[in-house]
Structure formats: C-alpha cells, structure tokens
Amino acid sequence: MNKLPFNFTSVPSTWELCFNKDCTHNDTCMHYFAGQHLPADKMMGFAIYPNALQNGKCRFYIEKRVIRAAWGFRKLFLNVKHVDDTPIRRKIQQYLGSRLTYYRYMNGQLTLTPEQQKGIINIFRSYGYTEELDFDNYIDCYAYE
C-alpha cells in the first residue's frame, strides 16, 4: 500500500483531516494519512479535533486501505440484447441515484467502489448475463469510506 502514490487532489472536499500525533491509530487511519499530505497552500478546512479520541478509540477512524475502483459501462453492455439494454441502464441509474450520476461514473468523473461494482454486476446477473462482466477501466486508489 505504501507504494501507491498519493495525490491530495483525490481527497474529497468535505473530508475531515486529522493531525492528532498522539492517537494510537494514526499509522492506519485514512484521516490522519490525508492530513499528513496537506499541501502548503491549503490553510483551512474540515478537521477532526484531538478530543475525538476517547478511551483509546476514535469514532471517526477509517482504516487506510487501497481499493480497485472502476468506471465505464461499455464493455458490460457489449453482449446485452437490445430488449434488455434500456431496462438495465435504468436500473443502474436508479442504483447510482440519477441519470447524471450514471454518466459521471460512465465517463470516469467518479469511480465505483468494489461494493458498487458488485451491485451493478448483480443487476446484469438478474437479467441472465453472467459472462465477461468487466468495467471499461480499473484503478487502484485510496478509499475514503
């Protein structure tokens, strides 16, 4: 995991940063990890205060981990029958929350978590499609969830 380069621009704008050096979990916490990569020109934002650490536990702790994110649906639809195309697209749009969000995932503006990937693959499976279910693109990245 330490080999994966970190780019602060990947941090969501509402992500809380942590600077608590005394926390016993700071070596595995994504909030602390992001805080350690704070660019010199960023001077304000959301933060987790030191008093969040109570009795050795922090309720904001999120494990630092790398996921295999995906985007793009063209490959998934290659072998879909015409009659199933529109219903599957609508179900995916519903699953993702809106048509606009669907296109943001389609074009790589957003990336799908492994859980979202499973949900979308299950939509295809519910229509009987089980083979060659791959997204167009994959990337390893840090998880903010």
pLDDT tens, residue by residue, 69-120: 999 999 999 999 999 999 999 999 999 999 999 999 999 999 999 999 999 9
Q: How far is CA 44 from the centre of its chain?
A: 24
Residue 105 in tokens? 């995932």
Instruction: Please identify, among 58, 85, 100, the residue that sits at the C-terminal boundary of a domain.
Output: 58
List beta partners, residue 70: 112, 138
The pLDDT confidence band at residue 6, using thresholds 50, 70 and 90, is very high
Q: What domain count does the chain have?
A: 2
Are 123 and 101 in the same domain? Answer: yes
Q: What is the pTM of this model?
A: 0.82
pLDDT at 145: 85
* 73 and 121 co-located in one domain: yes
Q: Looking at the structure, do residues 17 and 36 belong to the same domain, yes or no? A: yes
Locate tokens 């903010």: which residue? 144
User: Residue 110 sits in which domain range?
Assistant: 67-142
